[in-house]
Amino acid sequence: MKILIASGTYPPELGGMATFVKNFADRALAQGHAVKLIAYGQADSLTRDPFWTMIISRNTLLAVRYLRYFLAAFSEARKCDFIFAQDLVSSGIPAFLASVFSAKKLVLRLGGDFLWEKMVQKGRIAGLNAYYDLPKSLIEKVYLFFYRLVLRRAKKIIFNSVLQADLYHRHFNLPESKTAVIYNPVGRQTIVQAQKRYFRLVFAGRFIKVKNIPLILSALKSVPSIPELLLVGDGPEKNSLPGLIEREKLQGRVKILQSMQGNEFAKLIAESWAVVIPSFTELSPNLALECIGLHVPVLLTSFNGLPQDVRKALLEFNPFKVSELVERLHFLLNQQNYENYLKTLKTIRLDRGWTEVLGDYQAVFSNL
């Protein structure tokens, strides 16, 4: 197969989409497929090793970068079997246009919702499902118009969670035959072994409003026996965090650390008492799966897209109720409860690797 991947981001930038497309492209290439990739980045670049990769600078006007992305995608799509886009807007709209003008099939992989995240960042606080039931402004209706255009054009739409698939079936009237659910690869961490476990709580991720960081601070204030919280990451809300920490009188108990990757990050998690993921909705909480693989207790938002057999073993809480997170923290502070939870985590099977995932994608691509 000749695949043109259209992505909104690519390493060294962080995030689930960047990580996925790099791993997918590397493994597809290793299996003999021809791969080309277009993504946004901090500066223009074009490389051909190990596969053709064009980076479009996002430091230009929106219309300019979308036009440049479309022209690159259109040019390369004519040489490929289909376009594999990773979202509905930043890569989805240019990929949609390239698909129309090149007459090439469009496949979508969706693991997030651009419009919902954008509206939450603007202060419209709601979980993903609840958001779609709210009245929409004119600008939201314009975005949803483009959503429908791209979804209608797609030959196949692949979700990485049943939660988002069910939501889109309801709100966009997608036929079952047009969609598939392929979960992200997961596997037990064997690289990192914790030599010591520090009594600290950890949040790791982008500092954006969807991640609901203020809830952790409010809960921590009510649980003084937890001595330290680490906030690991970066993002537009970073500058507001010191003020929030001061307001909750948590100076000295909360540290802000830069984003980490690889073994450094895994070591930090493996040596921590617990991890908290309080997002308003977390469609594909890869960090929770990492915690399971590292045998680290995780407290997870109840609005998540994990398979039900994994969810039933985890400690979840309502991300709109501080009291529920406080209750879960007090539960874990009991040593017997903590040890029992560790035993439960060790029973969860995480054995779905890239070989299985790539096989699922190939099955979809073969039937376009």
Which pLDDT band, with edges at 50, 70 and 90, does 314 fall under? very high
- Helices (H) and strands (E) counted in the chain, each on its own, are 15, 14
Lookup: tokens for 171: 């709100």
Q: Which pLDDT score, from 0 to 100, does residue 187 have?
A: 59
Three-state SS at 83: strand
Cα separations in angstroms, 33 against 80, 103, 161, 171, 209: 11, 21, 26, 35, 39
Cα separations in angstroms, 48 against 35, 36, 229, 368: 10, 9, 43, 27
The Cα–Cα gap between 99 and 97 comes to 5
The closest alpha carbon to 269, from 299, 297, 241, belongs to 297
Burial of 220: CB neighbours in 10 Å, binned 0-12, 13-18, 19+: buried
CB 282 within 8 A of CB 301: yes
Other Cβ atoms closer than 10 A to 145: 9
Q: Please report, to the nearest 10 degrees, the dihedral formed by the alpha carbons of residues 327, 330, 334, 340 taken in order.
A: 40
The pLDDT tens digits for 9-58 are 888 887 778 889 999 999 999 999 999 999 999 889 999 889 999 999 99
Q: Which pLDDT score, from 0 to 100, does residue 225 have?
A: 95
Asked whether residue 275 carries a pLDDT value surpassing 90, the answer given is yes
* Residue for token pair 């409010």: 218
The Cα–Cα gap between 280 and 365 comes to 33
How would you write 23-46 as a 3-class SS string?
HHHHHHHHCCCEEEEEEEECCCEE
Asked whether residue 315 carries a pLDDT value surpassing 90, the answer given is yes
The pLDDT tens digits for 283-311 are 988 899 889 988 999 999 999 999 888 99
Q: Give the DSSP letter string of 338-355.
A: HHHHHHHHHHS-----HH
Asked whether residue 274 carries a pLDDT value surpassing 60, the answer given is yes
Domain ranges in the chain?
2-185+353-365, 198-347
Whether domain 2-185+353-365 has CATH 3.90.1150.10: the reply is no
Which pLDDT band, with edges at 50, 70 and 90, does 262 fall under? confident
The pTM of the full predicted model, rounded to 2 decimals, is: 0.87
Between CA 345 and CA 365, with CA 129 as vertex, the angle to 5 degrees is 75
Which pLDDT band, with edges at 50, 70 and 90, does 272 fall under? very high
* Residue for token pair 């991890």: 275
Q: Which CATH superfamily, name and number, covers 198-347?
A: Glycogen Phosphorylase B; (3.40.50.2000)
The pLDDT tens digits for 327-358 are 999 999 999 999 999 999 989 887 778 899 99
Beta bridge partners of 83: 4, 106
Three-state SS at 191: coil
The pLDDT tens digits for 186-235 are 755 555 566 788 999 999 988 999 999 999 999 999 999 999 999 999 88
Cα separations in angstroms, 155 against 25, 36, 357: 20, 19, 20
The Cα–Cα gap between 175 and 339 comes to 45
Mean pLDDT value across residues 113-125: 94
Buried b (16+ CB within 10 A) or exposed e, 87-110: bbbbbbbbbbbbbeebebbbbbbb
Three-state SS at 132: coil
DSSP 304: B
- Worst-scoring range by mean pLDDT, 49-53, 140-144, 237-241, 277-281? 49-53
